[in-house]
Amino acid sequence: MVFQDYALFPNLSVLDNLLEAPLAQKLGSREELAAKAAGLLEQMGLDDKLEAMPSTLSGGQKQRVAIARAMMLNPRVLCFDEPTSALDRESSDSIGKLIQEIAAGGTGILIVTHDTEFGQQYGTRIVSSSEFVKNR
């Protein structure tokens, strides 16, 4: 799950944010997981931010770190809660393209958003709340 507010640990570096959950779940050694984290950050254009603290990152960078953190757990489905709510259009487009790349790699994607333009540009199927909300 990738949250609207990124939910990064402010006291941990980018690398340590990415390693926290997979190390706790014993998904590999620190060295193996650090290599995976570095690869994901490179894919997201953040390979120079490995040791950076979250407070030094832009909103778009924080969102990409949050996506990389979620990808560290090898999800079959990745859920996004308003992934572009705090981003400018350029950063939103960057996140949209990244989400498309993840989907092309075989990960299922579910996005909850109020940004209909983003949904139409990057979605493959759009379901509005009126289609699943029923009156009692």
Domain of 106: which CATH number? Answer: 3.40.50.300
Tens of pLDDT, residues 100-109: 999 999 999 9
3-class secondary structure, 12: coil
Which pLDDT score, from 0 to 100, does residue 136 have? 47
Angle at 4 between CA 82 and CA 83, to 5 degrees: 40
Q: Could you give phi then psi for residue 60, rounded to 5 degrees?
A: -65, -40
Total number of domains constituting the chain = 1
Looking at the domain assignment, is residue 136 inside a domain? Answer: no
Tens of pLDDT, residues 36-89: 999 999 999 999 999 999 999 998 999 999 999 999 999 999 999 998 888 888
Looking at the domain assignment, is residue 82 inside a domain? Answer: yes
Which pLDDT score, from 0 to 100, does residue 88 have? 87
Domain that holds residue 62: 14-131
Looking at the domain assignment, is residue 4 inside a domain? Answer: no
